């Protein structure tokens, strides 16, 4: 018998987050104040921390169509560090790959079309609408039978698209298989709609996500690899330890994370500047942290100068879980 998706604090915070997303405004509903968008948790008169709607500012961006981070092509660093992240191409098996805070990134499709089992996590439903609209057809994902209607609000929602319909990505971007044939795998793409910071392996396993364990005949909610671009640098710095904890819990031993950080001075994010030292502090207890490359992209992206940046470096790390 499988247990329900989320219990206790995680369940409660998912419920609160979902109410906020549907416009109920968690903090305003409970305290008369507006939800805070900065991740900080001021005390209430009763001493309880205020509930925070982390997604508010992002929802506003999606609603206004302000998604300047979005690339219409697979991220160059994902292609460049393909072997570091996923191992040698020859003999490579399909892997379970997580994309936290995925937006409508074409990297999801890029990886899924290569036959991998790809799962994105995104907090704004509008972004997933856009992603699956581009992808093709959205399929209905049945609720696992062990999650009752009453407990459902505490859970994540999983949405799924059929990748075979996705025609917009040019075949030269997808590349060729090692035998020279173009990638045409019609794979499914699954996206978890929810706050990444509230996830646990059990919640994902309950939805059949993550690595499949043949001996148990079930998935375990952890992944072989993750691609983090515009994710850790997008969360409020105060939430970084929680983000690192969740990401760590979702990667299997030996699993890898390709992390694309940015380092800039002096404007306030997002994206929030993340130094090598901070990456080490967040992850070195559980991962080997390897700096792959650092590139100043200020000349390629002059808009950072307009925001006051005097340097804007894109820094790639490979994290390997012990």
Ligand X SMILES: C[S@@+](CC[C@H](N)C(=O)[O-])C[C@H]1O[C@@H](n2cnc3c(N)ncnc32)[C@H](O)[C@@H]1O
* Contact set with ligand X (CB under 6 A): 54, 58, 69-70, 101-103, 105, 121-124, 127, 195-197, 229-231, 234-235
CB of 17: closest distance to ligand X in angstroms?
9
Nearer to ligand X, 122 or 187 (CB): 122
Q: Which is nearer to ligand X, 177 or 270 (CB)?
A: 270
CB 295 within 8 A of CB 263: no
Helix (H) and strand (E) counts in the chain? 12, 11
CB of 280 to ligand X, least distance (A): 22
In the complex, least distance from residue 70 CB atom to ligand X, rounded to whole angstroms: 5
CA dist list (Å): 300 to 114, 305, 311, 313? 29, 11, 12, 11
- By C-beta, is 147 or 233 nearer to ligand X? 233
Residue whose CB is less far from ligand X, 235 or 279: 235
Cβ at position 192, least distance to ligand X in Å:
8
Q: Which is nearer to ligand X, 70 or 133 (CB)?
A: 70
> Which is closer to ligand X, CB of 168 or CB of 176?
168
| DSSP-assigned beta bridge partners for residue 99 | 120
Tokens 């710095």 correspond to 237
121 DSSP β-pair partners: 192
Shortest CB 41 distance to ligand X, Å:
14
Token pair recorded at residue 187: 């794979």
Q: Is residue 33 helix, strand or coil?
A: coil
Please answer whether residues 209 and 119 qualify as being in contact, where contact means their C-beta atoms are separated by less than 8 angstroms. Answer: yes
> 103 vs 109, which CB is nearer to ligand X?
103
Q: How far is the CB of 90 from ligand X (least distance, A)?
A: 29
Q: Which among 88, 98, 89 has a CA at the least distance from the CA of 220?
A: 98
Least spacing, CB of residue 227 vs ligand X, in Å: 8
**What is the 3-state composition of the chain as percent helix, strand, coil, each rounded to the nearest 5?**
30, 25, 45
> What are 257's strand-pairing partners?
226, 319
The residue count of the chain comes to: 322
């Amino acid at each position: 018998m499988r247990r329900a998706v989320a219990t206790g604090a995680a369940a409660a915070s998912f419920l609160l987050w979902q109410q906020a997303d549907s416009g109920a405004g968690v903090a305003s509903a409970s305290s008369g104040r507006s939800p805070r968008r900065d991740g900080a948790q001021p005390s209430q008169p009763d001493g309880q921390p205020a509930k925070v709607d982390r997604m508010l500012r992002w929802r506003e961006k999606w609603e206004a169509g302000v998604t300047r981070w979005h690339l219409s092509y697979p991220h160059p660093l994902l292609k460049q560090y393909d072997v570091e992240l996923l191992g040698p191409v020859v003999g490579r098996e399909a892997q379970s790959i997580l994309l936290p805070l995925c937006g409508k990134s074409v990297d999801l499709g890029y990886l899924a079309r290569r036959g991998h089992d790809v799962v994105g996590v995104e907090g704004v439903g509008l972004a997933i609408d856009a992603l699956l609209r581009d992808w093709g057809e959205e399929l209905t994902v049945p609720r696992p039978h062990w999650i009752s209607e009453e407990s459902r609000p505490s859970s994540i929602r999983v949405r799924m698209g059929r990748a075979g319909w996705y025609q917009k990505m040019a075949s030269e971007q997808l590349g060729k298989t090692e035998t020279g044939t173009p990638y045409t795998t019609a794979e499914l793409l699954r996206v978890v709609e929810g706050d990444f910071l509230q996830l646990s392996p059990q919640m994902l396993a309950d939805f059949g996500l993550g690595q499949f364990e043949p001996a148990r005949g079930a998935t375990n909610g952890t992944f072989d690899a993750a691609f983090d671009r515009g994710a850790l640098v997008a969360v409020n710095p105060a939430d970084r330890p929680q983000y690192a904890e969740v990401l760590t819990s979702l990667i299997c031993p030996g699993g890898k994370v390709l992390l694309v950080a940015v380092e800039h001075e002096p404007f306030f994010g997002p994206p929030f500047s993340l130094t090598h030292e901070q990456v080490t502090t967040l992850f070195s207890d559980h991962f080997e942290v390897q700096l792959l490359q650092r590139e100043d992209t200020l000349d390629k992206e002059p808009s950072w100068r307009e925001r006051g940046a005097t340097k804007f470096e894109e820094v790639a790390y490979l994290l390997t879980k012990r």
